[in-house]
Structures are given as structure tokens and as C-alpha cells.
Amino acid sequence: MNSFEEIFAAVKEYCRQRLVDATYRAFIERIEPVSFDGVTALLAATSEFLVGIIQTRYRGLLEEGFREILGFDVAVVITTPEKKEKPDETPPVVSESTRREPVEASRVGGYSLTFDSFIVGATNKFAHAAALAVATNPADTYNPLFIWGDSGLGKTHLLHAIRTEILRNHPDYHIVLVDGETFTNEIITAIQNGTTAQLHDKYRAADVLLVDDIQFIAGKVSTQEEFFHTFNALYNAGKQIVLVSDRTPKEIKSLDDRLRSRFVMGLIADIQPPDFEMRVAIVRRKADLLGLDLSDDVAEYIANRLKTNIRQLEGAVKKLNAYRLLENIRPTIGAAQSAIKDILNESQPVPVTVDKIISEVARTYNTTPDMIRGSSRVANVALARNVSMYIIREITGMSLKEIGAEFSGRDHSTVSYSIRTIIDRMEVDTHLEETVEDISKNVRT
């Protein structure tokens, strides 16, 4: 069988599992693979009408399927076969109500993010047990629940599992799941547009509030103020709150003391990197999901070399599956060596950009990137500008001249003075030092 045909059959199966039968038969089943160059997948539908529907409604799902099967992004292009002189008959109309089945559980990397799909080991069993207890009896056990740990260890999986389990038992519950950065941006937008009342209604009407990456609200005065009142309103009303972070409350330096004291009122549970047995189990689970026959030797080889990040383990298995489908390479230890090398290269931290730093500083000081880059002398803007220059210098190592060019062409002596100002102030201002530290950690995330 042609390897692309095999890949696309797996992609179609991925789509079939996420659509009602009528929708799948009307659209996805009628697509045929044409060619694949490793970057773009060319697919053919039987009519221009069908092409338009698929492009609009289902191309994203198809690309998601390719990414899941192969482990990397593939651009999907859909056309009609050149040999077709007339379009086929118009496909049956599929109503909005049958277009797509309700998704009961969130999905990432091929997993349904439920408790059943969460692999429990010695390093995460406490956090898993706490999350399950909260999901089983919201607001009756640990409130708030604060889960922390490094990136890629399953914190977000547990957050979504809590959501899924509560909705299964209490379909009438209003659950809000948000990340700290989005919450901050919503606060800024609401203040600018005068819609803070609507924002209050959105969050304070929740039965369950789940917040990922809560560390992003640290140092942002308006955001922390709003979250403080939201937290109090929900907690006093007997609603469940779950927070996830890459640090403990104590380690979020510029977090308001009022919030820190509330975050530790309930239970704090950590997730540590998986041990060897757990890593092997994760590798085998991912291989099974992809239909990849992986020997014990290969599974253990991967588990022995990727020790700190679950996403890397899953990525290595995806690479092996891509080798098998695209190049007919068996999943041997030699292939695993190449897959691990690719994963480690792909997993190198993305260089922190100047734009990212300035945007994070702007959110912290309640201003805008344009104001920071401009000539405003308003106190909070001037401070934000100096902080931006200092962090850019520390993280990127750019020259003073290059940094000045990012700020309306300021000369190197002005940049040097701004950086020195921040260094001097941090020596006597602990809050500023903690704010700068938190901003630096956030932009590196």
C-alpha cells in the first residue's frame, strides 16, 4: 500500500471518531489522497461544492489529524481531480445539529483528557488523588486546590480531567476554564472598553473556576485586584476553585500577599518528573494509540533517555510512527536514536523575542507596547520602558544600540542609563526585584 494512502486512512479514522456518522460519510469519507511532499498534503474532493464545505468546516480537523498521526504540522490543500469534467452530485445537506458530536472530554496529543487516560505513578499519585477528590465532590474536599510542577508533566491534563468528570456528574454546572494570560488580557480589554461588569458576571457566576498558569497574573495590579474579588466571591459562595502553576505560591515572587494567603488555604499538590516505570508506561500507551508495534527494548530505550518531560516521550513515539508511515522504517533502537535527536532539537527553547518581553511588561504595568516604545513620560510607562530594556538586555544579550533601536531609536547612553536605573532600584525595592523576576520567568515559559 502507498504510504500516503496509509497515513490518510489513519487521518480519516481520526476524523471519523470526532464526527457524527452522517457528517463523516457526507464529507470526509469522500476525500481521496493525491500527494504528500512532507509539508503539504494534497487531497481531492469530488466537486467544487464539496471542496468549499471541507475547506470552511473541516480543514482544521484534517490538519489536526495529520499532526496527531505524524507528530508535525501538515498544510492541507483540497482540490477537485483534474480528470473530472463535471462535479459529482451535490452532497447531502447536513444540519447544524448533526455537524459535529459534542466532545465530552478535551483532547490533546491524541488523549482524551480524563482521569482514565492519566497515567498514575509515584511522582504524581498525590496530585491525581487530590484532583479526583475535587472532581468527585466539588467544594467539599480541597478548596482551593493548587497544583504545581514543571511544564509537560500533566498539570493541564488534570485540570481538564476535573472539568470532564464534574460535567459528567453535574451537567448543569457552569464551569469556567481559563489561563492566567487570557484572564489578564480580558481584564485589560474590559477596563479599556468599560465592560468590567460583564466580566464580573462571567467569572463570578461560575460553579467551578479552573485556572491554568495562574503565575501570569503576578505583578499585574488590576488583574490581581479583580482575581482577588472573584476568588472571594466564589469561595464565600461555596464554589470550587482549582489553580495550576509552574511554581508554588511562595515562589511567585510578585504575587499579592492577599492572594498568596488564599492560594494556600486549601491543598497544595505537586507533580514531579515521571520515574522509569511510568515513562515506559507512557511510551507504550502512546504507541498503542497510534497502532505502532513497539518492542520492550525500544520503549525502554526511549524512557531511559527522555526523563523529564511527558510531551517529549509522546513526541518520540510520534516520530517513530512518522518514520514507519513515510519511509517504511521499522521502530528499531536506531530509529529511536534519530527520533530522540529530532525531539531534543525541536524542544530547544524558542528564543525570547523583544515583542514578547515588551508585551508582558505592558500587561504588568497596565499600559501598551506602543506606549512603552514611544516617548510618553507618564510614570508607569517610563518605569515599564526601563524594565523592558533591562529584561531585554538580561535575556537576549542584545547590544545597547540594538535595544535603543527597538525604542524609537534611543541612543546607547539612554539605554545604559535606563538599565542602570533598574539595577539601582532593585537593590532597595524588593517588590520591583520580584516583579522583574516574575516577568522574566513568564516570558521564558
Domain definitions of the chain by residue range: 3-94, 119-270, 276-346, 354-444
- Cβ neighbors of 404 (< 8 A, separation 6 or more) are 410, 411, 412, 414, 415
Question: 267 - beta bridge partners?
Answer: 145
DSSP 8-state symbol, 93: P
- Compute, in degrees rounded to 10, the torsion defined by CA atoms 367, 370, 374, 376: -30
Residue 160 pLDDT > 50: yes
Percent of the chain past pLDDT 70, that is, above it, reads 90
**May I ask the CATH class of domain 3-94?**
alpha beta
Distance CA 367, CA 174 (A): 32
Q: What CATH number has the domain spanning 119-270?
A: 3.40.50.300
Q: Specify the amino acid at residue 430.
A: T
Of 351 and 233, more confident: 233
Q: Is-contact 209 239, C-beta < 8 A?
A: yes
Q: In this structure, which topology does domain 276-346 adopt according to CATH?
A: Helicase, Ruva Protein; domain 3 (1.10.8)
Residue 308 C-alpha cell reads as 523529564
The CA-atom distances, in angstroms, between 271 and each of 160, 230, 255, 281 are 16, 27, 21, 17
Kindly report, residue by residue over 209-261, the tens digit of the pLDDT.
Answer: 999 999 988 888 888 999 999 999 999 999 999 999 999 999 888 889 999 99
The CA-atom distances, in angstroms, between 328 and each of 313, 323, 325 are 21, 6, 6
Kindly report, residue by residue over 354-379, the tens digit of the pLDDT.
Answer: 888 999 999 888 888 999 999 888 88
Q: Is-contact 163 106, C-beta < 8 A?
A: yes
Q: What CATH number has the domain spanning 354-444?
A: 1.10.1750.10
Burial 369-387 (b: 16+ CB within 10 A, else e): bebbbeebeeeebbbbbbb
Residue 10 pLDDT > 60: yes
